[in-house]
Amino acid sequence: MVTNELTKPRRIELILRQIDSLPTLPAIATRLLALTSDENAEVREVISLISSDPALTAKVLALCKTADRGLRQEVMNVDKAVVLLGFNAIRNAVLSVKVYELFRPDPDDVPGDVTRRDNMLRPSIEPVDREEAERFDRAAFWTHSLAVACLAELIARGSSAHQDLNPDEAFVCGLLHDVGKLALDHVLPKSFARVVELADLNQGNIAEFERRIVGIDHHTAGKRLAEQWQLPHALQDCIWLHGSPYDTLPNIEHRRLVGLVALADVIVRRQHLGYSGNFTFKEEEITLAGKLGIDPDVVADAIEGLHDTLESRGKALGINDTPSKELFLDAIQRANIALGRLNHALDLRGRTAAIQSRILEGITTFHAQAGPGRSVQDMLDSVVESASTVFGPGFFAMLYPEPGHAHGHATWLVSQYTDEGAPLHSQYAEAPPHTPDLSQFDASQPMGVNLMGILPWVADYLVNAEDVRDVRLLPLSCGWGTVAVLLHDRQQLPNWSMLQSLVHTWGAAIGAAAQHDGARRLGEELAESNSALAEAQDRLLRQESMARLGEMAAGAAHEMNNPLAVISGRSQLLSMTLTPGSKEQQAAQTIFKEAHRLSDLITCLHMFADPPRANRRPVNLLSLLDATIKAARGAQRNRDQVVPIYLQVKEDLPSLEVDPEQLQQAVSELVHNAIQASPKDSVSVQARVVSAEHLLLIQVVDDGDGMDQHTLDHAMDPFFSDKPAGRRVGMGLPRAQQLALAHGGRLDLRSTPGEGTVATLTIPLEPAA
């Protein structure tokens, strides 16, 4: 039976297969990439190919206007344009234009009519609606991508001393560095809309939410799409690795090119040009530029000329133009007609040629298509396409057992095809117990093996078969056994002595693809682990510091509490015996006050040595917050200027199960910290419940001094404070964080110098198991 809910690894594999099935690059782009990569290619061939596409010709001529070549007159023909720009610039320009044309939104679409957009590509895994589709702003995305491309090109052009940074390559790598987001949006529009929403809400890194919700990030998705398109390795690695810290990149030939794209991406995000969904910055621009050996003056000059370059390059490439839907559909229709003609020609050749010629031709065709790096699904599709050439039109399907389950209770991939061998759909199926071992199938029988006699449960999935009683099995084996089964409805196959070489070729190719898929997934997991390791190291350092502080706090609490109790008690008694208002009494009261303050500090330190646990019980949250604010207002009585504090609640807050004392203390610390920031107007406390995520969000917002990056990085460190002498001990925010952790939650800070700070308490409404 088909499983309703896929496990995470199986879901990820299905997503990657859907990405691999996205449309390939147009034929003119593929041909031009091959020509411009061939040292022996003739200039006339490139000129002829560009001239065959009027729209492409116009964009290439427009590029000449943006190129600073010291021209005295306008270039009016393709011949001069190719000579002026060179093969590299032509190749990158065509690649940029064709990828944009493949993914751009259609201006003729009715707003929210996402079905028209999705029909231009293969169907997505999930249904979408209007509101979800509009969350990902594609126009802003392309603005960001083009800005990164222009800035990377400007920096590379200004760094003339670095011969390994080619401006043309830098431009196309910058333009396509985030193409994986488009792939995820097409394959999983509903999930990706949720990713965009969370990234915007939490101001975090969109890649982290992609891995959490989708299972893979846009780096991996873009890499798979680039592999399918057979793009240059430098471009593949820029798409895949530009989000990793530069120090963790492997020592590859184009390592600095990857770093340049990362630098341009950081600067463009700092400039707020377009939309990327990534609001975090792992490295500062100056630091990254220094690692790349790029002069900061070059970066500054590039930023200054970015806007003019962005405008002119956008017009030249037509990224700001949107062609009509009819032209795009017409291009797809012509491609489908060409594909139909090719299938018809292959079928005609297979039916008219001799059996020996058909088999030899099938082997040759299969070897030409089954190149290295193909996935198992691609190889299954290629096998069926080759089989349709040899056997002629008819019913086709493929059975592929998951690795490690050649028999018994296992998961199988069932793929179905049209009569001509074109893919229809794939689905997973659970084989019942005692399913026969594939190795017992005898493929040499002239009539083949009857399906109903061996695997009757498969018949439930073969909806396209006219009569399942006519379906036959053809096992495909390699060196270690049978790896897949080809299903067909041919009553008579060619002689086994002639057919076995082709069948063994199919089986060996599928087996090699299975091994390659495993190795490729391992490489992708290693890259993700590398990024996760860098983040884990930062967390580990902080945890080690807190552990050492906890040990110190435990010792301090034990050694200092008893002497402090004596000092506090004796000073209080001494004060009572002295003349009221005398200097001696004031000194005794000061001793008592400071001893009490030191005791509170030791209590705070003890919180890190022995973190508190939340005693959850039903609480009226509105009353709790109201009491907290009233207490904070009363604590300002001795201040010269009282800061107004407001409670803002947009909806009725239900009774929630939290620890009221801990939550009230945490909010009090945040409110006091906001008051100390010298707000210009007021401090507001906002609360709401996110029902879908079972979370309570409490935000304390002020419009005070704000924090610089250094202060923000260390705000959670015990004893840290940016206040002058006479300040508090710097334990307010760390204590609020510990109280949030006691509930299984967290404390997040977002601040802008001179504008204010937003402190967000995120509390799960259900305790962790």
Residues 640-644, mean pLDDT to the nearest whole number: 83
Confidence of residue 758 (pLDDT cuts 50, 70, 90): very high
- Residue 7 or residue 392, greater confidence: 392
pLDDT at 557: 66
What are the tokens at 448?
């083949």
What are the tokens at 16?
């990657």
The number of residues making up the chain comes to 769
CA distance 447 to 472: 8
Note whether 495 and 474 are within 8 A (CB).
no
pLDDT at 434: 72
CA distance 92 to 98: 10
pLDDT tops 60 at residue 133: no
Which residues, at least 6 apart from 664, have a Cβ–Cβ distance to it below 8 Å? 624, 627, 628
Residues 683-690, mean pLDDT to the nearest whole number: 90
* 3-class SS string, 573-603: HHHHHCCCCCHHHHHHHHHHHHHHHHHHHHH
CA distance 96 to 94: 5
Confidence of residue 608 (pLDDT cuts 50, 70, 90): low
pLDDT tops 60 at residue 517: yes
- Residue 206 or residue 79, greater confidence: 206
Prediction pTM value: 0.41
What are the tokens at 314?
């956008």
What are the tokens at 751?
């601040």
Specify which of 51-65, 704-718, 725-739 reaches the highest per-range mean pLDDT: 704-718
pLDDT at 266: 92
| Residue 446: DSSP 8-state | T
What confidence tens digit (pLDDT) does each residue in 371-421 have?
A: 677 788 888 888 888 888 888 888 888 888 876 544 444 788 888 888 888
| Residue 652: DSSP 8-state | P
pLDDT at 37: 59
Amino acid at 43: V
Which residues, at least 6 apart from 267, have a Cβ–Cβ distance to it below 8 Å? 151, 285, 299, 303
**C-alpha distances out from residue 622 to 70, 654, 685, Å:** 70, 8, 11
What confidence tens digit (pLDDT) does each residue in 310-335 have?
A: 777 777 666 654 332 332 333 334 33
Confidence of residue 134 (pLDDT cuts 50, 70, 90): low
pLDDT at 760: 93
What confidence tens digit (pLDDT) does each residue in 254-270 have?
A: 899 999 999 999 998 88
pLDDT tops 90 at residue 349: no
Query: Of the candidates 705, 613, 695, which has an alpha carbon nearest to the alpha carbon of residue 661?
Result: 613
Q: What is the phi/psi pair of residue 226, to 5°? A: -65, -35
pLDDT at 59: 66
Specify which of 85-99, 125-139, 674-688 reaches the highest per-range mean pLDDT: 674-688
pLDDT tops 70 at residue 110: no
What confidence tens digit (pLDDT) does each residue in 548-575 have?
A: 766 666 666 667 777 877 787 777 787 7
pLDDT at 496: 67
Burial of 345 per CB tally in 10 Å (0-12, 13-18, 19+): exposed
pLDDT at 701: 93
Written as one string, the DSSP assignment of 459-505 is GGG-TT-S-GGG-EEEEEEETTEEEEEEEE--S----HHHHHHHHHH
CA distance 446 to 222: 46
Note whether 411 and 401 are within 8 A (CB).
yes
pLDDT at 316: 66
Confidence of residue 339 (pLDDT cuts 50, 70, 90): very low
pLDDT at 405: 47
How high does pLDDT run on average in the chain? 76
| CA 644 to centroid of chain Cα atoms | 42
What confidence tens digit (pLDDT) does each residue in 59-97 have?
A: 667 666 665 544 445 666 666 666 666 666 666 667 666
CA distance 100 to 124: 19
Query: Of the candidates 188, 184, 186, 248, which has an alpha carbon nearest to the alpha carbon of residue 219?
Result: 184
pLDDT tops 50 at residue 2: no
Q: Which of 60-64, 125-129, 268-272, 490-494 has the weakest average pLDDT?
A: 125-129
Query: Of the candidates 429, 428, 344, which has an alpha carbon nearest to the alpha carbon of residue 389?
Result: 344
The region, left, alpha or beta by phi > 0 then psi within -120 to 50, assigned to residue 408 is left
pLDDT at 313: 74
What confidence tens digit (pLDDT) does each residue in 294-306 have?
A: 989 999 998 888 8
CA distance 603 to 561: 9
Residue 753 in 3-state DSSP?
coil
pLDDT tops 80 at residue 432: no
What are the tokens at 334?
């012509």
| Residue 406: DSSP 8-state | S
* Biggest CA-to-CA distance, the chain: 122
Amino acid at 18: Q
| Residue 639: DSSP 8-state | S
- Residue 140 or residue 688, greater confidence: 688
- Residue 87 or residue 714, greater confidence: 714
- What is the per-residue burial (b if ≥16 Cβ within 10 Å, else e) of 265-300? bbbbbeeebbbbbbeeebbebeebbeebebeeebbe
Residue found under tokens 């009509």: 324
pLDDT at 761: 92
pLDDT at 319: 64
Residues 21-44, mean pLDDT to the nearest whole number: 65
Note whether 395 and 465 are within 8 A (CB).
yes
Burial of 160 per CB tally in 10 Å (0-12, 13-18, 19+): exposed
Residues 155-163, mean pLDDT to the nearest whole number: 79
Confidence of residue 33 (pLDDT cuts 50, 70, 90): low
pLDDT tops 50 at residue 338: no
What are the tokens at 349?
């050749």
pLDDT at 3: 41
- Residue 212 or residue 367, greater confidence: 212
Confidence of residue 104 (pLDDT cuts 50, 70, 90): low
Q: Which of 137-151, 455-469, 645-659, 696-710 has the weakest average pLDDT?
A: 455-469
For the chain, domains (ranges, CATH) are: 23-116 (no CATH), 121-369 (1.10.3210.10), 376-520 (3.30.450), 617-764 (3.30.565.10)
Crossing angle between the packed helical segments 376-391 and 8-20, to the nearest 10 degrees: 50
Q: Which helix (H) or strand (E) holds 317?
A: helix 306-317
pLDDT tops 50 at residue 500: yes
Give percent of the chain above pLDDT 70.
Answer: 69
Amino acid at 580: P
pLDDT at 26: 67
pLDDT tops 50 at residue 520: yes
Burial of 723 per CB tally in 10 Å (0-12, 13-18, 19+): exposed
| Residue 653: DSSP 8-state | P
